[in-house]
Structure 1
Amino acid sequence: MLSIIIQILLGLGFIMFGLMKFGSKQMVEGFKTYGYSAGFRIFTGMVELVAAVLLIAGVWNEQLAALGGFLVVATMIGAILTHIKIKDTLNNMMMPIILLILGGIVLVLNYTSLIG
């Protein structure tokens, strides 16, 4: 039950985050600040949307939940490394850290479906 609640919250959040990557002024400026191209911003948005779909579909299929959790973890590691690269404050890294932890919980709770 815990995994399903987290999956739905993460899924809805990643739909919003992913869609924002396609043209939100804040995201466009943020990716410029990070030194990333518009193409990478769009790619990141696509990955986030795929993760969202996997997390939500994972309510009915644990393997999809695990894959969605993995994508969240991988994406948030990249986000955290980006914040470190630009010497950002810990406060600005809190959201990616929290999302990393939540994605990790989903991955761990559903991991056995991938290997067994």
Structure 2
Amino acid sequence: MSEYALPRKSSLKTAALIGLRVILAALFAAAALAKIAGVPQMVQEFDTIGLGQWFRYFTAVVELTGAGLTIWPRRSAFGAIVLAGVCVGAFFTQLLALHGDVIHTIILGAAAGVLAFVQSSQLFQAR
């Protein structure tokens, strides 16, 4: 066999899952930090939503929690479910209150959903 043999499927799958987990966590952590830092666009969006600025902080905490769980190998399915839930809320908020772009919420939600589905065995393991 050649020294340039193709990697096994399981190692490719593992690498893809790690990459997806890192990308999702980084994107949601960045969004959360923008909310916490009080980026004017975030403050304005949450004013438009009408629930108050406390909701901006609450959303940031949920996003950071989901990002952290997504990075944690044994809890990444739970994190992905949290992030998918954030995306569902963001989708309806964009659609109904902000009248903005919903494509990013669909793409990120689908990615989080795929991650949760692929790692769903974590959800049923007794620890």
* TM-score (normalised: structure 2): 0.81
Q: Counterparts of 1:100 and 1:106 in 2: how far apart (Å)? A: 10
Superposition pairs of residues 70-89 of structure 1, within 5 angstroms: 70-86=81-97, 88-89=99-100
Equivalent residue number for residue 24 of structure 1: 39
Secondary structure of the equivalent of 1:102? Answer: helix
> Percent identity between the aligned chains?
29
Runs of 4 or more above 6 Å deviation: none
Q: Counterparts of 1:24 and 1:49 in 2: how far apart (Å)? A: 16
Q: 1:3, 1:105 within 8 Å by CA — same for their partners in 2?
A: no
Q: Counterparts of 2:123 and 2:90 in 1: how far apart (Å)? A: 25
User: Structure 2 unaligned runs (5+)?
Assistant: 1-13
Equivalent residue number for residue 99 of structure 1: 108
Secondary structure of the equivalent of 2:102? Answer: helix
Q: 2:48, 2:98 within 8 Å by CA — same for their partners in 1?
A: no
Equivalent residue number for residue 69 of structure 1: 80
Q: Counterparts of 2:51 and 2:20 in 1: how far apart (Å)? A: 29
Q: Aligned partner of 1:12: which letter? A: A
Q: Counterparts of 1:82 and 1:70 in 2: how far apart (Å)? A: 18
Deviation at 1:36, TM superposition (A): 2.4
Q: Counterparts of 1:83 and 1:15 in 2: how far apart (Å)? A: 19
Q: Aligned partner of 2:30: which letter? A: M
* TM-score (normalised: structure 1): 0.88
Q: Do the aligned partners of residues 25 and 95 (structure 1) sit closer, same or farther apart at CA in structure 2, a change above 3 Å counting?
A: same
Equivalent residue number for residue 5 of structure 1: 19
User: Structure 1 unaligned runs (5+)?
Assistant: none
Higher relative contact order (Cα pairs below 8 Å, separated by 6+ residues) = 1
- Root mean square deviation, CA, Å: 1.3
